[in-house]
Amino acid sequence: MSASGFPASPPAAFPDERDAGTFALRLERYGDDLLASLRAVYGNDLGDLPARLLEVLVRGFRDRPADLRRLDEARLLRPDWLQGPEMVGYVAYADRFAGTLAGVGGRLDYLEGLGVRYFHLMPLLKPRQGENDGGYAVADYRAVRPDLGTMDDLAELARGLRGRGISLVLDLVLNHVAREHEWAGRARAGEEKYRAYFHIHPDRTLPDLYERTLPEVFPDFAPGNFTWDPEAGGWVWTTFNAYQWDLNWGNPDVWLEFVDLILFLANQGVEVFRLDAIAFLWKRLGTACQNEPEVHHLTRALRAAARIVAPAVAFKAEAIVAPAELMGYLGRGAHHGRVSDMAYHNSLMVQLWSSLASRDTRLFAEALRAFPPKPTNTTWGVYVRCHDDIGWAISDEDAAHAGLSGPAHRHFLSDFYSGEFPGSFARGLVFQHNPQTGDRRISGSAASLAGLEAALEAGDVGRVDDAVRRVLLLHAVILGFGGVPLLYMGDELALLNDSGYADVPEHAADNRWVHRPRMDWELAGRVGSEPDTPAGRVNAGLRHLIATRRSLPHLHASVESWPMPSPDGRVLLLRRDHPLGVMVQVYNFSEAEVVLPAWELREALGAEAVDALTGSRLHLDRPTLRLEGYRTLWLTQAL
């Protein structure tokens, strides 16, 4: 055995002595951490797992292309590459963005011109045919959807992106595979090895015990968490849909399969893996089977394995969970900074829409105060909208601190964004109404939810102006908060709801497709020449915000944004303490002009500050500061 606890690599494994030395150094650095994490889950006796793992690692290392090895070395020299203010993300479906992967490759000038450095293509690995949960029912992790292209096309696209300094981000569904996946097919055929990859129960005894504490993800069209499969001769655990079989991560063979898959995809040029449904991996009777401690050990082990072969790779946790649980995915205690490199700040997105509807930021500030500091080597993924619905993840405790009733406020937000509340500017759709809990989630594009659709239909210039300002305010917050701001495709053009989604049979039952429109390239081509249109104003405003962000070292993600006491509930104040000086961001979440007492800003910034967005100097020794409706200020100390 080597010092790391792995068997020694055979001399023939690395004909190049430099490769052998590099691999040995990385194995020495991460090997103990990797095996300790596995022992925490699977016990001290790992059997032949280390030897089998070493084979996978050596093969992945030897197969890694030369340009990706160079990227590995560059990232080792700059481990904060995901944290810089130049990192701006863009999220799109490949087919809706440009038809095929080759088509996406033809649009790289657009992404580069927008300032994108991080490009997340929504699920594109080969899914099951027919209904597939938007691509999250993967039938083959080593193949691309045939209508999009091939794995070679994906590698070619990754090379093109990499040449422009843009990182390719891909979904890796961890919790489940499609019923049509080879593993599930072999399980149904009776192969014991593959039956052990899943949770298959001969009767309802255990499923009924589990169901006592399990929530339902899709109560409308996929109630319950188990599905009878006659071919398998048992009840299969299916958290999401009947055609998505949950994997048994209690089986180390499943963990090893995913190490192999991660390294294979990394060698195609994937730089960031969005770890989908990660919270659900570990099953424990008597719990909700989410956020169990083993999940963090398993992720830490996956990360260590990736660091040995492909240290340019980063992990992003798709954990849409309460703040108290979320930090576990970035690393608490012994896991500090050793789990995922990035996580979604779902609470930020929820609070953006909450404050916009209520014109009150007190709940927003309370929610941010509830977050403990994240590890300084990690970052947030922050967003206004994503491909999914908006669930009102507002805790009763935060609401109470802001003088609100949690249930009543969640009810108000559902009413407001579905357009049912009197005076609402929003055009959204209710998704997954649960009569038992009263939970109603919301679908809709950012522009339609912010009031642009209704304003255009009314032909009201003033309301259109307010809607444009709302869209820009929301994006100013994510661009200024710290982390990787993720622009959702079409939001930079203020695209509205796509009501035609219902005409597509496989989309008709899922109204989330209302905010998954096709890219309007004709509009994208003319926004520059039509600066006074809503699309032109939003596009120009976003480009200015991105350019300003890129110039501000204060926005490095190692620094936290903290809410300051605000003299007016309509105004959110965020403070960032950077070594180059204090930065304070001011956001007016109402359409009304606010006269803000200047003393709070003066205490943080001194008598004079510079607004980075306009270049103007503000004299804070005056008693008040006037903020027009939906105004943003990014203030730094005057030199």
Q: How far is CA 440 from the centre of its chain?
A: 22
Q: Max CA-CA distance within the chain?
A: 78
Task: Give, in degrees to the nearest 5, the angle at Cα 346 between 452 and 361.
Answer: 65
Q: Which of 265, 317, 9, 318 is nearest to 124 (CA)?
A: 265
CA separation for the pair 31, 304 (Å, rounded): 7
DSSP string, 544-581: HHHHHHHT-GGG-TTSPPEEPP-SSTTEEEEEEEETTE
**Residues 293/335, Cβ–Cβ less than 8 Å:** no
| Number of residues that this document lists for the chain | 639
Q: HSE-up of 336 (CA within 13 Å, CB side)?
A: 7
CA separation for the pair 604, 610 (Å, rounded): 13
Residue 563's identity, in one-letter code, is P
State the residue for tokens 């560059």: 74
**Residues 389/350, Cβ–Cβ less than 8 Å:** no
Q: How many CB atoms lie within 10 A of CB 106?
A: 12
CA separation for the pair 545, 12 (Å, rounded): 53
CA separation for the pair 417, 279 (Å, rounded): 28
Those residues whose C-beta lies under 8 Å from the C-beta of residue 449, and which sit 6 or more positions away, are 353, 385, 417, 426, 427, 428, 442
CA separation for the pair 236, 229 (Å, rounded): 7
Per the annotation, the verdict on 55 as an active-site residue is no
C-alpha Rg value of the chain to the nearest Å:
25
CA separation for the pair 481, 583 (Å, rounded): 11
Those residues whose C-beta lies under 8 Å from the C-beta of residue 223, and which sit 6 or more positions away, are 216
**Residues 430/442, Cβ–Cβ less than 8 Å:** yes
**From 72, 229, 246, 318, the catalytic residue:** 318
Strands 484-488 vs 379-383: parallel, antiparallel or unpaired: parallel
| Assigned token pair, 89 | 């993300």
Q: Give strand pairing partners of 246.
A: 176
Residue 155's identity, in one-letter code, is A
Those residues whose C-beta lies under 8 Å from the C-beta of residue 72, and which sit 6 or more positions away, are 64, 310, 311, 312
Per the annotation, the verdict on 246 as an active-site residue is no
CA separation for the pair 397, 406 (Å, rounded): 8
**From 180, 276, 398, 492, the catalytic residue:** 276
- For 459, 474, 562, 611, the CA distances from 632, given in Å and listed in that order, are 26, 10, 17, 9
Alpha helices by DSSP H, 43-150: 49-63, 66-77, 94-98, 101-105, 108-114
Q: Given 3-state DSSP classes, what are the helix, strand and coil percentages for the chain, each rounded to the nearest 5?
A: 40, 20, 40
State the residue for tokens 């001399």: 11
Catalytic residues: 276, 318
